Structure 1
Amino acid sequence: MRSVTLPDGRALAYEECGDPDGVPFVFMHGIPSTRMAARMIHAAAVRCGVRLIAPDRPGYGHSDPCPKRTLLDWPTDVAALADALQLLEFGVLGVSGAVPYLLACAVAMPQRLTHVAILSGLGPLREPGVMDGMNRETAALYRLALRSPRLGRVWMTMLAATAKRSPLLVYRQQLSYLPEVDRAVFDNPELRTLRLDDFAEAFRQGVDGASWEARLHMTDWGFGLEDVGLDVFLWQGELDRHHPVAMGRYLERALRGARAVFAPEVGAFGFVGRMDSVFEQLLDVPAHGRELAAAARPA
């Protein structure tokens, strides 16, 4: 684990995995999660020549909190991290609740991004029909939080307290919501341990980071999906019950440059065992950030 000092004095923690000489991607974790989630795809990144730079967002893991931050504050942190690593251009890749953070970067700094990729993405939750096919327990919690942000915070606080006391209990509860194809992913003891450690790390500083992000996700993002001018690669498992196909289809329609892959017979974590193919499909698309940004600049 390393860190950089941001212009406002905060520490931003990150770690690297994959091929250190590979194509650079900033990996963005879900909610609640941390930089450690990138380790799930380390081996595939090595094989495919991808360098993963995985920061903890503010309030998670070892990154300092940033009270009252907005989604559009995140690109500034990412740009500072890239500057510290002397990266002029890079891709962004994220999972689940990372969607608004990836897209905020695409809106705020398109000229620096070579690729934008979403795996098992959790998009805007207020759109009609996007929770169709979601497991009942998760959908009920999201609807509760949408109706009452205060109750949403209570839910996240209880989750954090339980996770700090017994991460295994929360892990088993979450696993019970998954289809069999996803539960089978965690038959691998290394992945199971990683998932537990990542969950505990997410609440190292308490609940504030995760609860604020839950609020950000469920309120206005500060930009529209129509504002995203870059191509976006979407990968979605057809058996995913946390981020159902209806969510993926909505993102595919709403993002004008979307290129979607809907993988049959796999769920939310199906990408873990298929990352070689995912990276190959992703890297097969020519880098586009520079060209699109140049076209958008005034003469």
Structure 2
Amino acid sequence: MLKSVGVILVISVAVAFICQSTLPPPPRICGLPGGPPVTAPRVKLRDGRHLAYKEIGVPKENAKFKIVYVHGFDNSRHDVIIASNLPQEVVEELGLYIVSFDRAGYGESDPDPKRTMKSTALDIEELADQLKLGDKFYLVGFSMGGQTVWGSLEYIPHRLAGAALLAPVVNYWWSGFPESLSHKAFRQQLPQDQWTVRVVHYFPWLTYWWNTQKLFPASSVAAGKIVFSRQDYEIFSKITFSDGTNHREQTKQQGEFESLHRDMMIGFGNWEFSPMNLTNPFESKQRLVHLWQGDEDTLVPVTLQRYIAQRLPWIKYHELAGAGHVFPLAEGKAEAILRALLLGE
């Protein structure tokens, strides 16, 4: 009898420990007691959340083109990849106004426990309205931020004058991919990343535990142990921070779950739509959506981007030979991306 009670007690303690370890700690919300300070301008959204933003370029009242930029995974409003090495004379020539914002849970934007692809698109629309960007604006998204561009093409296409997806992360479970193609691309990822994405997709409630446990290697991307391409490493060796400041410590200051982990859960979860079923939202015959991809990108399989481009002929596809994931940081590339998007050059 006592032995049975002891076994039950041990099992109960073990189950309780496992359940407890799957629960993320509460976020450290900016501006609240115990949380980081608020240093950025912010707008208050429809549900009471705050969205932090950063403005770059000419004053918006003088701008010829207004662009909303969407940062990638483990980035923030400070990481505006299309402006990092953009010459000031180009900014003034084109009349560029760029606003970058912290996606929910990142930087100084409040977490959103109900975050979805649709809610992020609506955040962008509300930010544009509160900043008075006009009826239409351009949208540029890098890496995981590219998924937000897909979401905006689905949920707020009427607000877009054009859009650019730069090495956008692909969800292997989007409908429309031939199973053999997506399976082969999936297998090209590191084994630990394959397992992480599986857990995130099939068992999202285990996402926090998987990325914090020590039994198995978790996401190499979240751990900052990515194996980049040769060109990527060359680019990194030349990067300098234009204002002399590294803002990396702000990126996930409110907690890794509400920033990195929730990004994974949404990005690789079950989407309500597939980009491959999108129709051209623009009446113009000119291709106003651009997709840029390096053919040596080690994070996003080029084979899947090629297939998407074939399925969506209204998108202008740019494949860069020898380029990796951070090609927009290469000299002259940001200017080329913006001229193609804004001027059709």
The bucket for the TM-score relative to the shorter chain is 0.7 to 0.9
Look up the match of 1:202: 251
Q: What amino acid is the match of 1:221?
A: W
Look up the match of 2:24: none
Look up the match of 2:71: 29
- Once the two structures are superposed, residues 155-185 of structure 1 have per-residue CA deviations (whole angstroms, 9 ceiling, x without a partner) of 44469xxxxxxxxx954x23xx112210111
- Once the two structures are superposed, residues 183-225 of structure 1 have per-residue CA deviations (whole angstroms, 9 ceiling, x without a partner) of 1111125259999633x32211002222122111112222222
Which structure 1 residue ranges, 5 or more long, are not aligned?
160-168, 287-299
Q: What amino acid is the match of 1:44?
A: L
Structure showing greater Rg? 2
Q: Does 1:284 align with 2:335?
A: no
**Higher deviation after alignment, 134-143 or 237-246:** 134-143
CA distance in 1 between partners of 2:126 and 2:151 (Å): 15
Indicate how the Cα distance of structure 1 residues 45 and 65 shifts in structure 2: closer, same or farther if over 3 A, else same: farther
Q: Does 1:227 align with 2:278?
A: yes
Look up the match of 2:235: 185
Provide the secondary structure at the position in 2 that maps to 1:115: strand
How many Å apart are 1:14 and its aligned residue?
0.6
How many Å apart are 1:236 and its aligned residue?
0.6
The aligned length equals 273
Look up the match of 2:123: 77
Indicate how the Cα distance of structure 1 residues 268 and 39 shifts in structure 2: closer, same or farther if over 3 A, else same: closer
How many Å apart are 1:45 and its aligned residue?
6.9
- Once the two structures are superposed, residues 81-135 of structure 1 have per-residue CA deviations (whole angstroms, 9 ceiling, x without a partner) of 1111111210110111112211221222222101111001112222443426844
What does 1:171-182 align with in structure 2 at a 5 Å threshold? 171=224, 173-174=225-226, 177-182=227-232
Provide the secondary structure at the position in 2 that maps to 1:92: strand
Look up the match of 2:139: 92
Q: What amino acid is the match of 1:149?
A: P
Look up the match of 1:236: 293
Indicate how the Cα distance of structure 1 residues 8 and 148 shifts in structure 2: closer, same or farther if over 3 A, else same: closer
CA distance in 2 between partners of 1:251 and 1:182 (Å): 24
What does 1:95-174 align with in structure 2 at a 5 Å threshold? 95-126=142-173, 127=177, 128=179, 129-130=181-182, 131=185, 134-136=188-190, 138-157=193-212, 170-171=223-224, 173-174=225-226
TM-score of the superposed pair, with normalisation by structure 2: 0.71
Provide the secondary structure at the position in 2 that maps to 1:8: coil
- % same residue: 24
Q: What amino acid is the match of 2:280?
A: G
Aligned residues of 2:141 and 2:147 also touching (Cα < 8 A): no
Aligned residues of 1:157 and 1:211 also touching (Cα < 8 A): no
CA distance in 2 between partners of 1:133 and 1:44 (Å): 36
Aligned residues of 1:4 and 1:12 also touching (Cα < 8 A): yes
CA distance in 2 between partners of 1:25 and 1:262 (Å): 23
Aligned residues of 1:235 and 1:261 also touching (Cα < 8 A): yes
Which structure 2 residue ranges, 5 or more long, are not aligned?
1-39, 215-221, 282-287
Q: Does 1:251 align with 2:308?
A: yes
Aligned residues of 2:86 and 2:335 also touching (Cα < 8 A): yes
Which structure shows the bigger proportion of residues in helix conformation? Answer: 1
Aligned residues of 2:294 and 2:322 also touching (Cα < 8 A): yes
Q: CA RMSD in A?
A: 2.9
Provide the secondary structure at the position in 2 that maps to 1:190: coil
Q: What amino acid is the match of 1:234?
A: L
TM-score of the superposed pair, with normalisation by structure 1: 0.81
Look up the match of 1:289: none
CA distance in 1 between partners of 2:99 and 2:137 (Å): 10
